């Protein structure tokens, strides 16, 4: 009688087991990852790829926002460990940030940025109440506030500090951070986001996030900096929240004054704003749910009644540009109009680079055009700037080739900028074009994931965008257009 292990079914099973095990016996670089059948699926906090199930309507509970002192510290992922955007050990080399930017802002019309330059000119002339406000949307590259913090510091050093600007109530994702503002929040807030889970009514405020406290005692606190050249003063704080059927009580406590309690109950849901004014100087504000029903809050705006610059960093981790269309159209238009930036800017591509061509490029172009057009229609008198995607690479042996979708996205964004009357800063070419992320990694400018910059790389990128803007501003000042006096900027 034959041995049981030599039977045909047994031999088939042994052969199958050997084929499954073979990829693990060979070097990883020789075997496609898809053949390692027993490897666990990777986890990610980013929004799902086009093939993955869509996020559901609902909320997710947040952990506490630990004390954030507003200094540039490396954020960490849940359970510890660095997020992809890593902090470098030293500042950027002078050779990278001195001199002119490697690319100028592309502008076929020559006047796409005029409304912003007009606002800067009024600020520079110290016109009372003049503000050059930039509202800057992006993915995790902006949610870390490293590029935008560099822009904020440089613009406010030259033109004056008109306030920190936009800030979310709490950390809607691990790694959310803003420089030059101090924050903390209790755990228990529930959140809906444009990257999921979704708010059923499409109301997310300016920042793509809706926070809900469904019980008393949940709080968030924001305060100005104790030291440093910027961020120590505020004279206006605007709280954006919702009133709704069955809404509870929202308490706002400024400094050590008695709290002001607001009812958020109303026959129907709508977004409202409470502006608090105070003597210009250091202040703190606590936002707290006081029971009586759920309380829904979106974001805060910190401004000053001083001529100067503001950079609103509206970063959404895991976001693709098309995800901004999850915001109710009329609601987003209203938020943009009320904020009234002299310049609206966009940086997207990190997450799309992971999608590759799974999301077809014709659909990418159509959805990007639709979102950008919504912003342009809401802000017809504002300037628009598209800051193109960073290079993203995959390691193959000793090489770091660019993901093929990156130059394709870059070309589409450049095309749409010209079509919609926006300026375009070609980040990909400024970095060095094809394969540049590998070089950036070796120089300490790129993150280990080959998608995000390091903090030093972000400082370089922020400096380049600032210098490109100032290059255009110098040309504007040399020959201002006749309509400059009517351009927006407050």
What are the structure tokens assigned to 439, written together?
Answer: 């070089």
Strand, helix or coil for residue 92: coil
Q: Where are the domains of the chain?
A: 51-73+167-172+179-305, 91-160+307-490
Reported as a pLDDT band with limits 50, 70 and 90, residue 98 is confident
Interaxial angle between packed helices 361-378 and 329-339, expressed in degrees from 0 to 180 and rounded to the nearest 10: 50
pLDDT for res 480: 60
Q: 83-87, 216-220, 277-281, 410-414: lowest mean pLDDT where?
A: 83-87
Cis amide linkage into residue 349, ω under 30° from 0:
no
> 98 with 469: CB under 8 angstroms?
no
Interaxial angle between packed helices 146-159 and 455-478, expressed in degrees from 0 to 180 and rounded to the nearest 10: 40
Stretch 325-335: mean pLDDT: 98
Same fold, 51-73+167-172+179-305 and 91-160+307-490: no
What are the structure tokens assigned to 186, written together?
Answer: 């209790």
Provide the whole-model pTM: 0.85
What confidence tens digit (pLDDT) does each residue in 168-181 have? 999 999 889 999 99
What are the structure tokens assigned to 263, written together?
Answer: 């009812």
pLDDT for res 93: 56
pLDDT for res 6: 52
Strand 343-347 vs strand 383-387: parallel, antiparallel, or unpaired?
parallel
User: E-strand spans in 162-294?
Assistant: 165-168, 182-185, 190-193, 209-213, 219-223, 234-243, 249-254, 260-263, 270-281, 284-289
Q: 16-20, 68-72, 329-333: lowest mean pLDDT where?
A: 16-20
Q: What percent of the chain has pLDDT over 90?
A: 75
Q: Tell me the pLDDT of the chain averaged across its residues.
A: 86
Contacts (Cβ under 8 Å, ≥6 apart) of 135: 165, 166, 206, 312, 314, 336, 339, 341, 343, 344, 345
> 446 with 440: CB under 8 angstroms?
yes
Q: Between 95 and 186, where is the model more confident?
A: 186
8: Cα separation from own chain's centroid: 59
What are the structure tokens assigned to 233, written together?
Answer: 């003063």
- CATH code that applies to domain 51-73+167-172+179-305: 2.60.120.260
Q: Between 328 and 13, where is the model more confident?
A: 328
pLDDT for res 316: 97
What confidence tens digit (pLDDT) does each residue in 227-275 have? 988 999 999 999 999 999 999 999 999 999 999 999 999 999 999 999 9
Q: Between 60 and 205, where is the model more confident?
A: 205
Question: Does residue 407 surpass a pLDDT of 90?
Answer: yes
What are the structure tokens assigned to 39, written together?
Answer: 């490897």
pLDDT for res 209: 98
The residue behind tokens 């005692």 is 217
Question: Does residue 41 surpass a pLDDT of 90?
Answer: no
Strand, helix or coil for residue 368: helix
pLDDT for res 162: 98
> 204 with 194: CB under 8 angstroms?
yes
pLDDT for res 392: 97
Reported as a pLDDT band with limits 50, 70 and 90, residue 108 is very high
pLDDT for res 89: 44
Reported as a pLDDT band with limits 50, 70 and 90, residue 482 is low
**CATH classification (class only), 91-160+307-490:** alpha beta
């Amino acid at each position: 009688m034959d041995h049981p292990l030599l039977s045909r079914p047994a031999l088939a099973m042994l052969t199958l087991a050997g084929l499954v095990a073979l990829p693990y016996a060979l070097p990883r670089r020789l075997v496609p990852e898809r053949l390692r059948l027993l490897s666990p699926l990777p986890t990610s906090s980013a929004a799902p790829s086009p093939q993955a199930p869509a996020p559901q309507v609902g909320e997710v509970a947040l952990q506490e926002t630990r004390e954030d002192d507003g200094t540039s510290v490396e954020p960490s992922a849940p359970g510890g460990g660095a997020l992809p955007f890593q902090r470098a050990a030293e500042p950027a080399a002078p050779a990278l940030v001195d001199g002119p930017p490697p690319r100028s802002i592309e502008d076929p019309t020559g006047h796409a940025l005029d409304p912003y330059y007009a606002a800067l000119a009024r600020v520079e002339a110290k016109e009372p109440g003049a503000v050059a406000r930039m509202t800057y949307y992006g993915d995790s590259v902006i949610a870390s506030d490293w590029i935008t913090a560099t822009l904020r510091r440089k613009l406010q050093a030259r033109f004056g500090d008109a306030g920190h600007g936009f800030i979310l109530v709490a950390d809607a994702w691990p790694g959310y951070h803003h420089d030059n503002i101090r924050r903390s929040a209790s755990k228990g807030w529930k959140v809906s986001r444009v990257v999921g889970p979704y708010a059923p009514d499409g109301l997310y405020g300016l920042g793509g996030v809706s926070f809900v406290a469904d019980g008393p005692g949940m709080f968030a606190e924001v305060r100005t900096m104790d030291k440093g050249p910027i961020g120590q003063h505020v004279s206006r704080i605007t709280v954006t929240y919702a009133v709704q059927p069955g809404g509870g009580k929202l308490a706002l406590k400024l400094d050590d004054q008695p709290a002001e309690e607001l009812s958020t109950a109303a026959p129907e849901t709508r977004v409202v704003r409470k502006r608090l004014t105070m003597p210009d100087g250091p202040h703190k504000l606590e936002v707290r749910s006081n029971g009586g029903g759920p309380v829904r809050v979106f974001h805060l705006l910190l401004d000053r009644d001083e001529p100067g610059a503001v950079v609103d960093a509206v970063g959404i981790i895991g976001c693709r540009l098309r995800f901004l269309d999850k915001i109710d159209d009329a609601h987003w238009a209203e938020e943009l109009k009320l904020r009234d930036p002299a310049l609206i800017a966009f940086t997207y591509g990190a997450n799309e680079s992971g999608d590759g061509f799974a999301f077809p490029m014709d659909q990418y172009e159509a959805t990007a055009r639709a979102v950008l057009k919504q912003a342009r229609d809401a802000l017809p008198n504002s300037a628009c700037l598209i800051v193109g995607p960073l290079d993203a690479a995959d390691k193959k042996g000793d090489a770091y080739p660019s993901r093929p979708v990156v130059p394709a996205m870059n070309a589409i964004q450049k095309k749409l900028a010209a079509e919609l009357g926006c300026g375009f800063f070609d980040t990909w070419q400024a970095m060095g074009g094809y394969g540049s992320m590998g070089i950036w990694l070796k120089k300490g400018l790129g993150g280990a994931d080959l998608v995000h910059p390091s903090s030093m790389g972000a400082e370089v990128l922020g400096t380049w965008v600032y210098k490109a803007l100032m290059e255009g501003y110098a040309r504007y000042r040399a020959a201002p257009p006749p309509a400059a006096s009517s351009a927006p900027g407050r």
